[in-house]
Amino acid sequence: MYSQGRTMKTRNIMLALIVLVGICSMSALAQDAAAPASDQDSAAKPVLSESTNAAPTEAKASPLPPSNTPSTRVPAVHADNYIVGIGDVLEILVWKEGELSKTVPVRPDGMITLPLVGEIKAVGLTPNQLKEVVTTALQKVVSDPQVTVMVTSVNSLSFNMVGNVNRPGYYPLTRPVTVLDAIALGGGFRDFAKQKNIYILRAGANGTQQKLKFNYKDVIKGKNMAQNIVLQPHDTLVIP
């Protein structure tokens, strides 16, 4: 009896071991079967980099840095009729002669100074006339000089605008400019400008100074249009 019970117990243990081994074998087979499928899926799908998956970045232009350079007030100067004056700045260019090319101011005595040439009178001449004078002077030291004269800064023919205007300062007079034109050039009035009490200070031939009144309110209504005079060099337009 004891022997039969021991035999049954041994059989049960053997049967459990067989079942356990079978379960392990089936599990291993299932993993082996799943592995190729996974490899195939990996091979079928291309590997995408992060840059490919990322959304395309929109190209944006970088804004230009703000510029604090004031706009030039030098208009186009006609070389055949503009008269060079004291304080003007001239650019003298000599082709293929960089050492002779200079930017020079017209001195209070009306003269300019150039290398190898010395002093030349510029005031009272047009740029074209000055070009001929410089060319003739250079022919003594340079073979067939090719000269260009340009006015880079107009300071002799200018008026001054002061007071309650948006852009006060000196403005060139290379064309006829009336008082209304000048106010427009200056960007208009500031707040609280006394538009009825504007005046122009003008130096007379004998050294005296005239005060010419200008009533903006009347002129824009078509009244007293004679007040809208053409400004002259060295006038001062006062906006109180």
Q: How many CB atoms lie within 10 A of CB 112?
A: 25
Tell me the pLDDT band of 172, cut-offs 50, 70 and 90.
confident
User: What contacts 111, CB < 8 A, 6 or more positions away?
Assistant: 119, 120, 121, 122, 123
How would DSSP label each residue in 96-163? T-TTT-EEEEPPTTSEEEETTTEEEE-TT--HHHHHHHHHHHHTTTSSS--EEEEEEE--SSEEEEEE
Please report, for the domain that includes residue 220, its CATH number: 3.10.560.10
Its pTM stands at 0.50
Mean predicted lDDT score pLDDT of the chain: 80
- Per-residue pLDDT reduced to its tens digit, 182-221: 999 999 999 999 999 999 999 887 778 899 999 999 999 9
* Residue 166 and residue 220 share a domain: yes
Tokens of 238: 């006062």
Report how far apart, in Å, the C-alpha atoms of 17 and of each of 10, 23, 24, 89 are: 11, 10, 11, 111
Cα 205 to chain centroid distance, Å, stands at 43
Arithmetic mean of pLDDT, 133-147: 93
The more confidently predicted of residues 70 and 96 is 96
- Per-residue pLDDT reduced to its tens digit, 74-93: 556 788 888 899 899 999 99
Q: Which of 9, 27, 8 is nearest to 19 (CA)?
A: 27
Q: Which of 210, 167, 174 is nearest to 190 (CA)?
A: 167
* Residue 203 and residue 225 share a domain: yes
Boundaries of domain holding 189: 158-239
Tell me the pLDDT band of 128, cut-offs 50, 70 and 90.
very high
- Split into its structural domains, the chain has a count of 2
* Residue 122 and residue 176 share a domain: no
Kindly tell me if the per-residue pLDDT of 139 is higher than 80.
yes
* Residue 172 and residue 220 share a domain: yes
Please report, for the domain that includes residue 122, its CATH number: 3.30.1950.10
User: What local confidence, expressed as pLDDT, does residue 32 receive?
Assistant: 56
